[in-house]
Amino acid sequence: MFFLETAVALFIGAFLLTYLTIPKIIGVVQYKRLMDDPNQRSSHKAKTPTLGGIAFFYCLIFALFFIKDRAEHLEFIYMIPGLTILFIVGLKDDMVVLSPGSKLLAQILAISFILVNDSFGIESLNGFLNIYEIPYYLYLVIGGFLMLTIINSYNLIDGIDGLASIVGIVVMVIYTTIFYLSQEYFFALIAITMNACLMAFFGFNVSSRKKIFMGDTGSLIVGFIISILTLKFLALEPTAYGELPFLLENAPLIAISILIVPLFDTARVFTIRIANKKGPFSPDRNHIHHIFIDFWGLSHKQASFIIGCFNIIFVVLFIILGSKAKNTGMVIMLVSVVIFLAYIFFRYNYNFSTLKQKILLKRKIDALKGKKDTAPKSKKKNK
């Protein structure tokens, strides 16, 4: 079967499978009362079903079975153990909260299956910052750090309705295009499958009647797939870049631009937490999407749409620049943009203690207003 026919069949199949089974998952979750309870840092107010990522897992497993013949280095065999590990860990974390250390160990075990496959080996940075050949041990360090960063960054942006889905869809569309042009059809089909799942899930995630969260079950799986695609993108042979619309040496910067939203948000939040003498994984409401909602008064859909549009514009801009500009100039521009964004969002910083104080203060003000409104009425009645 030709690529286009396979891609269409895979997209329709994954979309329908996800769309038709999520209502069943919602029913089971509600029956078993496995709901996500809102707390002081939650952006939702009502108990909401979670575990939407279950549909992602079995859709990907089915897809790997049908496209396994396109994997030149048996990549599908190495992906299944990693997906299974993260699925189990995410499922348990959605029901019984796990410590960050436990999740990190599971992630390291999952990515180890990918790093040992020859298809993902990064042997050179092709002149990026004048770096060419890199030893195998350095590849393991770079690849491992890259995958862990992407998985956790994507997991952290899953904080409001639609955001993780929109960012994931943008990333998958870009990687589908890249791998199609570079004739890496196996990875293009993986991106298409993941995209279909996210599109089907998005409708439920932003719904007011049949809402469901992907939970860690979903965010860990999607982050894992994004990290695999990113590692493969950086490991492409130099000849594969011939049809891509940017210079070979700019590939690492293109990868960063594709993932700018989760990477920037994670770096900013970790910096704030460490500056406040807190652990990098300690919960708060300092994420960019929280700023849009809490400080700027936007809805979940509006915030998600704006962040998604920014991601697209940023990638297009860097691809255009990457077609001609040298990577040194692009690095300077990337750093400048990051510093500019960090400056804009610098003053939006609060933790649980200040948040609690603001909530209590607002309640006192509302109570005082209520007393003032009722006071004249009671005096009139006395007269």
Q: How far apart are CA 144 and CA 104, in angstroms?
A: 12
SS3 category, 99: coil
Residue 352's pLDDT is what?
43
H or E stretch at 124? strand 124-128
Mean pLDDT of the 55-63 span: 96
Residue 286's pLDDT is what?
82
What is the pLDDT confidence band of residue 380, given thresholds at 50, 70 and 90? very low
Reported as a single tens digit per residue, the pLDDT across 100-118 is 899 999 999 999 999 999 9
Residue recorded with tokens 């990577």: 327
Contacts of 310 (CB under 8 A, 6+ apart): 261
Q: Is 39 annotated as a binding residue?
A: no
The three-state DSSP-derived secondary structure of 135-155 is: CHHHHHHHHHHHHHHHHHHHH
What is the pLDDT confidence band of residue 381, given thresholds at 50, 70 and 90? very low
Q: Is 216 annotated as a binding residue?
A: yes
H or E stretch at 131? strand 131-133
pLDDT, greater one: 106 or 356: 106
Given the DSSP bridges, would you call strands 48-49 and 124-128 parallel, antiparallel or unpaired?
unpaired
- What pTM does this model have? 0.87
Q: How far apart are CA 330 and CA 325, in angstroms?
A: 7
Reported as a single tens digit per residue, the pLDDT across 215-271 is 999 999 999 999 999 999 999 988 888 889 988 889 999 999 999 999 999 988 888
Query: Which of 16-20, 55-59, 326-330 has the lowest average pLDDT?
Result: 326-330
- Looking at every residue in the chain, the average pLDDT score rounds to 87
**CA of residue 34 relative to chain centroid, distance:** 23
Query: Which of 170-184, 222-236, 348-362 has the lowest average pLDDT?
Result: 348-362
Q: Are 75 and 186 spatial neighbours (Cβ–Cβ below 8 Å)?
A: yes
Neighbouring C-beta atoms of residue 365, cutoff 10 Å? 10
Annotated domain spans of the chain: 3-248
Select the highest-mean-pLDDT range: 117-131, 183-197, 333-347, 349-363. Answer: 183-197
Quickly list DSSP for 337-365: HHHHHHHHHTT----HHHHHHHHHHHHHH
What is the pLDDT confidence band of residue 35, given thresholds at 50, 70 and 90? confident
Is residue 336 pLDDT above 60, yes or no? yes
